[in-house]
Amino acid sequence: MWPAPGLAARTLEWAAELGDQTMTATVLVERSYMAAEAGEVGSMIGLARAAQQDTRAAADQRALAAGLEARGYAMAGDGAAAERKLGDAHDLVAVIDDGPGERRPWSYWMTPAFFQNVAGFTCGYLAAVDPRWHSRAVDLLAARPETGDTALWAPAANLTHLAFAHARAGEVEEACTAALAASGAVRRTGSARHAATLGRIHADLQARWPGDVRVAELAEALH
């Protein structure tokens, strides 16, 4: 669940008053996520850019912002710009654990596997454009072992985004298989966001393959 717009605005004001660049970046990243969910690609990119402007902000938030900016470009079909920002995100992820202050306590879940998922989801948007993007998404979203608090939600995110990449590439068998596996993981986490993504994936598959038995089985599993 995203913070209420009024609360996010108030937090941004307080962060500015305190001179907390990392909290400012955190709020901008959350607002970029909200814009992404609303399909407002221009706002998503602009907010993600703003979150990266102050290099005094912790690297984890700037890395996530770079990943979101890359996703915005991918959603807009700009592969070259997406590639550039994926590179920026990768470089920032590399320094997160190298210096003090590059990760805040509330970002404990930003593991290397998490950032691979972020990149994989971005590549999935371009899977319909070039098979190489699809292959890259599949590689990035391959299941990786997680421990602690991230072990519960990581499979839900990976499998949901893997199903998305397969669907974008027109791989109906693989998309349905991944989505079916994701449905159980999503139920265990109670993630409304991933459940909504699975719903959109099914709607897309249903529109493109209306008589496919595998798509019908997926519908039953999601209800």
Cα angle 170-193-68, degrees, rounded to a multiple of 5:
75
Q: Are 52 and 66 in contact (CB under 8 A)?
A: yes
Nearest to 107 by CA among 149, 51, 44: 149
- Domain membership of residue 76 as a residue range: 1-110
Q: What is the DSSP letter of 145?
A: -
Single residue among 55, 88, 110 that ends a domain in this structure:
110
Give me the pLDDT at residue 1, please. Answer: 45
Task: Kindly state whether residues 117 and 136 are assigned to the same domain.
Answer: yes
Q: Which residue, 80, 76, 51, 85, is CA-closest to 65?
A: 51
Q: Are residues 35 and 60 in the same domain?
A: yes
- Kindly state whether residues 116 and 132 are assigned to the same domain: yes
Domain co-membership, 102 together with 134: no
Burial class (CB in 10 A: 0-12, 13-18, 19+), 221: middle
Would you call 1 exposed, middle or buried from its count of C-beta atoms within 10 A (0-12, 13-18, 19+)? exposed
Whether residue 79 sits in one domain with residue 37: yes
User: What pLDDT score does 154 carry?
Assistant: 84
Count structural domains, the chain: 2
48/139 same-domain check: no
Looking at the fold, whether 145 and 210 belong to one and the same domain comes out as yes
What's residue 138's pLDDT? 97
* Residue ending a domain, choose from 73, 88, 110: 110
Tens place of pLDDT per residue across the chain (223 aa): 445 556 666 666 666 656 678 889 999 999 999 999 899 999 999 999 999 999 999 999 999 999 999 999 999 999 999 999 999 999 999 888 655 556 677 777 788 889 999 999 999 999 999 999 999 999 999 866 565 666 667 889 999 999 999 999 999 999 999 999 999 999 998 989 899 999 999 999 999 999 999 999 999 999 8
The pLDDT assigned to 107 comes to 76
Question: Cα(149)–Cα(109) distance, rounded to whole angstroms?
Answer: 8
36 & 6 share domain: yes
- Residues 209, 132, single domain; the answer is yes
